[in-house]
Amino acid sequence: MDIFFGKDTVMLGPEASDKWGLIESMLDRLVGQGFLGGQTGVNRDGLLEAVRAREKERGTGLGEGFAFPHGRIHGLAKPGLCLALPRNPVDFGAPDGVPARLVALMLVPDDQPQVLLKMMASFARFMGEPTARHMVLGMDDEELLAVLITEKVVNNGVHITAGDIMRPPTTMVRPDATLHDVTRLMSQLMIESVAVTEEDGTLLGHITCDHLFQLGMPDFFSQLKSVSFIREFDPFEKYFAEESKSLARDVMTSDFATVSEDATLLEIVFELAVHRRHKLYVVRDGKRVGVIDRSLVLDRVINI
């Protein structure tokens, strides 16, 4: 990847009261090192505006003390990266609530979102290893850190995989949960489907809202062309009441899609778009390790 990055865009121990202050100082460093040299139509304020807009949509904290503020800039000639290890961790709104100790500001031309995506994946994989994370966070030499990041991240041409973009699993139900509990959980969390797993995470099946409606709805309903001519139908509640006594294992379906952690982005989009799946379970040895749904792909791939 041809990216504007070097020891001069590595900042060790900058002071910042909040993320906005840190972002501005990182931007200043990039611009000060000649990132915009020779480019017309792009200026420092424009960059800041793009990063702010993206940040306001949703925090760019990825979790585990890592943040990736970024912006897609119209008219930019080449991507630029600034790396900062702030003196005090800065809150970037990460899902796990951990403030960022390593912040990578990335600016890319608006027609090159894949560069951003690959960079994020590459960073996440590298920093996912505890020894690498420990080493990076402990470095006190800009040049050495720049060389390391250039070798391990910038020049490390990765392919985006399911493992890079998946969301960690948060909800699941056990096979002996009652349908009453399952529906209550789904309504509380406002989720369309829930996985049924063993204690060790082995994926057994899943239950979707569509599936629940089909269970609660008498079969003949689906055969009718319309029901608008009927104004009142008492036995309706009876059908749902009968089903609520069932257990998750009785009503779950095995009609779900799984992908391995190294499934490519193309495979993922193919499953979601062509096979019209709402959700993909990322599995390792039959155990669920992550989830990818349509909104996640929109968020992490298309709207990045």
Return the residue of 53, 137, 144, 224 that touches another protein, per CB under 8 A: 224
Q: Return the structure tokens found at 18.
A: 């909040």
CA distance 118 to 79: 12
User: What's the min distance (Å) between Cβ of 222 and another protein?
Assistant: 8
Contact between 270 and another protein by CB under 8 A: the answer reads: no
The answer to whether 124 and 158 are in contact (CB under 8 A) is: no
User: What's the min distance (Å) between Cβ of 20 and another protein?
Assistant: 57
- Residue 46 phi/psi, 5° resolution? -65, -40
Return the residue of 232, 254, 275, 285 that touches another protein, per CB under 8 A: 232
Contact between 240 and another protein by CB under 8 A: the answer reads: no
Contact between 200 and another protein by CB under 8 A: the answer reads: no
Return the residue of 231, 274, 275, 276 that touches another protein, per CB under 8 A: 231
User: What's the min distance (Å) between Cβ of 176 and another protein?
Assistant: 25
Q: Return the structure tokens found at 100.
A: 């960022």
Nearest to 12 by CA among 113, 117, 127, 141: 141
Contact between 233 and another protein by CB under 8 A: the answer reads: yes
The residue count for the chain: 304
Binding segment for another protein among 40-48, 79-87, 119-127, 232-240 (CB under 8 A)?
232-240
**106-130: b (≥16 Cβ within 10 Å) or e:** bbbbeebbebbbbbbbbbbbbbeee
Q: Return the structure tokens found at 201.
A: 């995470």
Nearest to 108 by CA among 154, 176, 57, 59: 154
Binding segment for another protein among 119-127, 163-171, 223-231, 294-302 (CB under 8 A)?
223-231
Separation in Å, CA 19 to CA 14, 52, 86? 12, 10, 10
Return the residue of 132, 221, 240, 304 that touches another protein, per CB under 8 A: 221
Contact between 241 and another protein by CB under 8 A: the answer reads: no
Binding segment for another protein among 43-51, 168-176, 184-192, 219-227 (CB under 8 A)?
219-227
Binding segment for another protein among 16-24, 67-75, 231-239, 285-293 (CB under 8 A)?
231-239
Nearest to 296 by CA among 135, 123, 130, 167: 167
Contact between 213 and another protein by CB under 8 A: the answer reads: no
Element spanning 132, H or E: helix 130-137
Per DSSP, 301 falls in state: I
CA distance 254 to 204: 7
Contact between 227 and another protein by CB under 8 A: the answer reads: yes
Return the residue of 56, 134, 225, 275 that touches another protein, per CB under 8 A: 225
Return the residue of 13, 34, 128, 218 that touches another protein, per CB under 8 A: 218
Site of interaction with another protein (CB under 8 A): 218-221, 223-235
